[in-house]
Amino acid sequence: MEYRDYYKILGVSKTATEKDVKAAYRRLARKWHPDLNPQNKKVSEQKFKEINEANEVLSDAEKRKKYDELGSNWQQYEQYTRAGGQNQGPFQWGGYGQPGGSQYRAMTQEELEQMLGGLGGSAGTGGFSDFFRTFFGGMPEGAQQQQTQRRSRRGQDFEYAVEISLEEACTGAQRVLEMQGEDGKPRRVEVKIPAGVDSGARVRMAGLGGHGAGGGPKGDVYLVVTVLPSSTYERKGNDLYTDLPVDLATLMLGGEVAVATPRGTRLALKIAPETQNGTTMRLAGQGMPVAGNVEQRGDLYVRVKAVLPARLTPDEKKLFEELRSGRG
């Protein structure tokens, strides 16, 4: 039976806090979840089991204490178990060694079960290693089943990274995820991403996560959204900024120019005579919707960019000469 270094598996030190353990577990669970590694599923399943097992021990203060007490005495205990629990020499662990001349007695099977009995895996030990079952699932089978039933546990949450365009963030989007069904076979689930989300938003899909234990509810799936940069619009909160090319004649004489919105519509923007290059105009309520309240929107700011004429005809050159002369 191989010793399991749970600290090494999670990549944390022995002084790691509960928060450190939780963060390491979440990071590794996302990395090695079998649904996110379909090309290397066998390896990822094994890694995922090891990560879950390490978290099961290190996230539980009582289990972690017993695991730390084991420490360097693992070889003595292994010799003890291989010998069938008989008194085969010195053994001391967690205060059970008692002086007897120069020797210590080994724990009896009853003492071992008493110490480990209260530590049965709250999520069951199915899929866990022999090491885990030996030390944290030592109670009789019937008693362990009763404890598991008493201590129901919510299923695991899963996270999926999703990328959407800014235009999709403005109107809302849909994605199809491939997930593992209850029968173990892959299934396709259509999920909706609400309008107004920004990068870093976590969209909850209730009840699509892992199965609960002991009658506990299923976990959830969270979509971690990244809104890709747009070549047309710059986003600042719920406000949008865009450049609008306008020809020189319209800037000087006035007129109307069509402005495209991220929702795919076009608006007519009035340009006042003698509008200067770089002028910014505000279109109220034409920006991004507020997440959770699509009736409320930010604004769209349009920056005028003058488009100078090129390849002038002789007549156009003459007009510009006259304009220059007339204005001194």
Asked if residue 97 is part of any domain, the answer here is yes
Of 122, 150, 178, the one marking the end of a domain is 150
Which of 4-18, 36-50, 271-285 comes out lowest in average pLDDT?
36-50
Rounded distance between C-alpha atoms, residue 49 and residue 6, angstroms: 12
Indicate the number of domains in the chain: 3
DSSP 3-state assignment of 239? strand
Give 127's pLDDT tier (boundaries 50, 70, 90): low
Residues 99 and 166 in one domain: no
Residues 47 and 72 in one domain: yes
Residues 54 and 144 in one domain: yes
Residues 54 and 118 in one domain: yes
With a pLDDT cut of 70, the percent of the chain lying above it is: 73
Residues 190 and 285 in one domain: no
Where residue 48 sits, what CATH number does that domain have? Answer: 1.10.287.110
Q: What does the pLDDT read at residue 92?
A: 37
Asked if residue 1 is part of any domain, the answer here is no
Which of 119-133, 156-170, 221-235, 266-280 comes out lowest in average pLDDT?
119-133
Residues 72 and 16 in one domain: yes
Mean pLDDT of 291-317: 92
Q: What does the pLDDT read at residue 62?
A: 84
**Measured over all CA atoms, what is the biggest interatomic distance in the chain, rounded to whole angstroms?**
118
Residue 144's DSSP bridge partners are: none
Extract the tokens encoding 244.
């609008």
* Residue count of the chain: 328
| Amino acid present at 215 | G
Give 9's pLDDT tier (boundaries 50, 70, 90): very high
Residues 204 and 167 in one domain: yes
Mind listing the pLDDT tens digit for each residue in 128-162?
Answer: 566 565 555 544 344 444 444 446 788 888 888 89
Residues 130 and 183 in one domain: no
Which of 143-147, 171-175, 258-262 comes out lowest in average pLDDT?
143-147
Where residue 317 sits, what CATH number does that domain have? Answer: 2.60.260.20
Angle at 214 between CA 208 and CA 215, to 5 degrees: 55
Residues 57 and 169 in one domain: no
Rounded distance between C-alpha atoms, residue 273 and residue 251, angstroms: 6
Q: What does the pLDDT read at residue 257?
A: 96
DSSP 3-state assignment of 164? strand
Q: What does the pLDDT read at residue 108?
A: 43
Which of 119-123, 153-157, 243-247 comes out lowest in average pLDDT?
119-123
Domain that holds residue 32: 6-150
Mind listing the pLDDT tens digit for each residue in 185-215?
Answer: 788 888 899 999 999 999 998 888 887 877 7
Residues 240 and 210 in one domain: no
- Asked if residue 61 has pLDDT above 80, the reply is yes
Sign of CA dihedral 262, 265, 266, 267: negative
Mean pLDDT of 57-64: 87
Residues 175 and 261 in one domain: no
DSSP 3-state assignment of 139? coil
Asked if residue 124 is part of any domain, the answer here is yes
- Asked if residue 115 has pLDDT above 50, the reply is no
Asked if residue 211 is part of any domain, the answer here is yes
Angle at 2 between CA 92 and CA 111, to 5 degrees: 35
Of 227, 253, 275, the one marking the end of a domain is 227
Rounded distance between C-alpha atoms, residue 75 and residue 172, angstroms: 59
Residues 134 and 254 in one domain: no
Of 86, 117, 150, the one marking the end of a domain is 150
